[in-house]
Amino acid sequence: MDLATATFKEISSAVRGKQISALEVTKYFLQRIESLDKRINAYTTINSAAESEAKIVDQKIANGEDPGLLAGVPFAAKDMFCTKGMRTTAGSKILQNFIPPYDATVIQKLRNAGVVILGKLNQDEFAMGSSNETSFFGPCRNPWNTDFVPGGSSGGSAAAQAARLAAGTLGTDTGGSIRQPASFCGVVGVKPTYGRVSRYGIIAYASSLDQAGPLTSTIEDAALALEVICGQDERDMTTSDHQVPNFSQDLNEDLKGYRIGLLKEYMNSGALSAEVQKAVDIAITALKARGAQFVEVSIPLTEFAVPMYYLIASSEASSNLARYDGVKYGFRAQFENLSAMSLDDFYGQTRGQGFGKEVKRRIMLGTYCLSSGYYDAYYNKACQVRRLLRDQFLDVFKNCDVILSPVTTSPAFKIGDRVSDPMAMYLNDIFTVSTNLVGLPGMSVPFAVSESGLPIGIQLQAVHFAEQKMLNVGLALEKESLVAGRSPHVI
């Protein structure tokens, strides 16, 4: 078995069958991180207990106990997930030394399934960004070409997955942060339906949009990870009691009877690069040949999706980030005479030094939108339009099972190219933000490679809780993928 390409099933059955120990698997990946991550900067923290955690899995197997569905499979998580005793920074100076006293539910579920957590992954600060350039820990690099961004905000997760610095990774997606880096790095990335996965213990960015999900090398691995992490959680009242299907067992690439929607507003957006357009066209032809039917559908409110998203996300962020005040935990500015400080100065200096530029921009925008006099004109209005957007999507899903579209307008861009132009960066989110505004499941499937050798993903979206349909179309796309057999240059 080659661990650089092995699937979850291959690893866990070899560990269970004692052909290889969980400890050996863990050591392999830790060594890989040691030798490759200097050039990628995907990890912010390595779990110093990883080897001893692997030994516990081996011990369970030796004792004849059930080691779990993903026994000995090494994962790493975006630095948004609280990990007991392991530093969790959200990519920010303000949480630079924060060590949570508990695990996020998702981390706990992975551990219960026999997963070994290798460490924590780089990201845009508080998940605000599309390129992983706003991280306090410096930019993460794309393993296919280290001059390019890996995408964001879960850039470390996508880059680590592409370079196989873990067998599986976790990200969060508020407006595209799993799908967009997955597309740029040539890996599978799934954002589940809002409410499928517990947000307990995940650092909040915009609570009505945030959702956690897996980034993996194959669709089957993503399906297995979803089986483990989905489900109702009494610690998160927004989790749904919908039954969690056996996604991996129900995978089926037969597309007969499937209707796939093409959104008029996405396909004619004019913003699409020729290479992404070509990838989408090839994907459509391939799926037609496999029996899928295509229908044109329309969401007229698409033109308002990006402004709606940035208004709502910034408003919720300004409220969520109020907790970082230097009093309870996290970074506190140094003061010569603390007792002589006014409270305003104490907060102001701590937050002024602790947050980066992009985070401050969002806090100011959000505070403005929520302030009295503007609340109705901006925040409330955006929430009303959000509801109408949902109605339009629900109508469209009466006519199709899955919507196929690009993930981004272009393949990965160069580090530094867009970071000084926030508007250009925001507009790049046009294809991904509606999914979150409506709470739908969405995913990116690695499909094509650009002339300059960078991956291009295809986005699939389904109606609430119809992840299985999306995964099935994803499986068919995977079989036709032009990325198959190619690996990032860094390896």
- Which residue is catalytic, options 12, 21, 177, 434? 177
Q: Mutual orientation of helices 219-229 and 8-16 as an angle, nearest 10°?
A: 70
The only residue of 122, 135, 174, 408 in contact with ligand GLN, by rule CB under 6 A: 174
Which residue's C-beta sits nearest to ligand GLN?
A: 177
Which x/- pattern over 380-419 shows residues binding ligand GLN (rule: CB under 6 A)? ----------------------------------------
Tell me the Cα Rg of the chain. Answer: 22
Does the active-site annotation cover 78? yes
> Considering only 86-94, 98-106, 169-177, 230-238, which stretch makes contact with ligand GLN by CB under 6 A?
169-177
Does the active-site annotation cover 273? no
- Binding-site size for ligand GLN (CB under 6 A) equals 13
The answer to the question of residue 175 lying near ligand GLN (CB under 6 A) is yes
Which x/- pattern over 196-225 shows residues binding ligand GLN (rule: CB under 6 A)? ---------x--------------------
Q: How far is CA 443 from CA 46, 83, 440, 477, in A?
A: 28, 25, 10, 12
Cβ contacts of 460 within 8 Å, gap of 6 or more: 402, 403, 404, 442, 443, 445, 470, 473, 474, 477
- Token reading at 258: 């499937």
Does the active-site annotation cover 153? yes
- Which residue is catalytic, options 92, 131, 135, 153? 153
**β-pair type (168-173, 211-216):** antiparallel
Q: How far is CA 335 from CA 69, 71, 343, in A?
A: 51, 49, 12
Q: How far is the CB of 257 from ligand GLN (least distance, A)?
A: 33
> Rounded to an integer, what distance in angstroms lies between the CA atom of residue 445 and that of residue 169?
15
The answer to the question of residue 12 lying near ligand GLN (CB under 6 A) is no
Q: Is the peptide bond before 130 cis (omega within 30 degrees of 0)?
A: no
The only residue of 429, 444, 456, 478 in contact with ligand GLN, by rule CB under 6 A: 429
> Rounded to an integer, what distance in angstroms lies between the CA atom of residue 83 and that of residue 100?
6
> Considering only 7-15, 101-109, 168-176, 470-478, which stretch makes contact with ligand GLN by CB under 6 A?
168-176
CA-nearest of 293, 188, 201 to 247 is 188
The only residue of 14, 128, 170, 202 in contact with ligand GLN, by rule CB under 6 A: 128
The only residue of 130, 135, 248, 459 in contact with ligand GLN, by rule CB under 6 A: 130
Q: How far is the CB of 128 from ligand GLN (least distance, A)?
A: 5
Please say whether the beta carbons of 238 and 379 come within 8 A: no
> Considering only 23-31, 37-45, 172-180, 442-450, which stretch makes contact with ligand GLN by CB under 6 A?
172-180
The only residue of 40, 71, 127, 163 in contact with ligand GLN, by rule CB under 6 A: 127
Cβ atoms within 10 Å of 68's Cβ, excluding its own: 20
The answer to the question of residue 177 lying near ligand GLN (CB under 6 A) is yes
Q: What is the DSSP string of 102-128?
A: S--HHHHHHHHTTPEEEEEE--SGGG-
Q: Which is nearer to ligand GLN, 83 or 174 (CB)?
A: 174
**β-pair type (402-406, 259-263):** parallel
Q: How far is the CB of 213 from ligand GLN (least distance, A)?
A: 11
> Rounded to an integer, what distance in angstroms lies between the CA atom of residue 395 and that of residue 327?
48
- Give the catalytic positions in this structure: 78, 153, 177
User: Applying CB under 6 A, which residues contact ligand GLN?
Assistant: 127-130, 153, 173-177, 205, 313, 429
